Structure 1
Amino acid sequence: MKDAERVTFGGSGLNRAAHLRDDAQALARMHRDPEALCVLLWRGKPLFKGDARDRLALLPFDHPVLLARHGGIIDRPILLGVEEGGAPIFAQDISEWEPDALDHDAMDRFHDCTEQLHPALPETHVFAELRRLMAGLSPRDAELAAAARAIIGWHDTHRFCARCGQPSEISHAGWQRNCLTCRGHHFPRTDPVVIMLITYGNSVLMGRSHGWPEGMYSLLAGFVEPGETLEAAVRREVMEETAVPVGRVSYLASQPWPFPASLMIGCYGEALAREITIDPVEIEQAMWVSRDDMMQIFSGDHPDIRPARKGAIAHFLLESWLADRLD
Structure 2
Amino acid sequence: MSFELVELPALSRFTADRSEPLRGDARRIAQLWPKARVITVDARGRTQVADRGTRLVDHPAQDFGDGPPDTAVLLGEQDAVAYWAVPLTEDETDVAAPASGRGRVWSAPELTDDPQWLDLRAVGALLDDTGAGLFTTAVALFHWHRTSRFCTVCGGPTDSAKSGWVRVCERCGHEEYPRTDAAVICLVHDGADRVLLARGAGWPEGRYSVLAGFVEAGESLEACVAREVEEEVGVVVNGTRYLGSQPWPFPRSLMVGFEAVADPAEPLRLADGEIAQAKWVSRADVRQALAEPGSVPDLLLAPGASIAFRMIQSWSLVDGR
Distance across 2 between alignment mates of 1:58 and 1:103: 21
Distance across 2 between alignment mates of 1:112 and 1:269: 26
Distance 1:306 1:191, change over 3 A: same
Q: How many aligned residue pairs are there?
A: 308
Contact 2:47 2:117 in 1 (8 A): yes
Q: Which moved more, 1:292-301 or 1:181-190?
A: 292-301
Which residue does the alignment assign to 2:73?
78
Query: Percent of aligned pairs with the same residue?
Result: 36
Q: Which moved more, 1:149-158 or 1:2-11?
A: 2-11
Distance 1:229 1:21, change over 3 A: same
Distance across 1 between alignment mates of 2:211 and 2:183: 10
What is the TM-score when the length of structure 1 is the normalising length?
Answer: 0.86
Distance across 1 between alignment mates of 2:94 and 2:230: 49
- In the TM superposition, residue 61 of structure 1 has moved relative to its aligned partner by 1.9
What does residue range 13-162 of structure 1 map to in structure 2 within 5 Å?
A: 13-31=15-33, 33=34, 35-63=35-63, 66=64, 75-83=70-78, 85-100=79-94, 102=96, 105=99, 109-111=103-105, 124-162=114-152
Cα RMSD over matched residues? 2.5
Contact 1:47 1:125 in 2 (8 A): no
What is the TM-score when the length of structure 2 is the normalising length?
Answer: 0.88
Distance 1:81 1:5, change over 3 A: farther
Tell me, yes or no, if structure 1 residue 307 matches structure 2 residue 301: yes
Q: What secondary structure is seen at the aligned counterpart in 1 of 2:11?
A: coil
Distance across 2 between alignment mates of 1:155 and 1:184: 15
Distance 1:100 1:49, change over 3 A: closer
Tell me, yes or no, if structure 1 residue 185 matches structure 2 residue 147: no
Distance 1:248 1:2, change over 3 A: closer
Contact 1:48 1:54 in 2 (8 A): no
Higher RCO structure (Cα 8 Å, ≥6 apart): 2
- In the TM superposition, residue 167 of structure 1 has moved relative to its aligned partner by 0.5
Contact 1:44 1:149 in 2 (8 A): no
Tell me, yes or no, if structure 1 residue 12 matches structure 2 residue 2: no
Aligned AA (2:282)? S
Aligned AA (2:289)? I
Distance across 2 between alignment mates of 1:163 and 1:110: 34
Q: What secondary structure is seen at the aligned counterpart in 2 of 1:264?
A: strand
Which residue does the alignment assign to 1:318?
312
Unpaired runs of at least 5, structure 2: none
Unpaired runs of at least 5, structure 1: 68-73, 116-122
- In the TM superposition, residue 124 of structure 1 has moved relative to its aligned partner by 2.8
Distance 1:264 1:166, change over 3 A: same
Contact 2:11 2:125 in 1 (8 A): no
Distance 1:173 1:240, change over 3 A: same
Deviations 1:212-238 (A, max 9, x none): 112111001000111111100000000
Aligned AA (1:76)? T
Distance across 1 between alignment mates of 2:106 and 2:114: 18
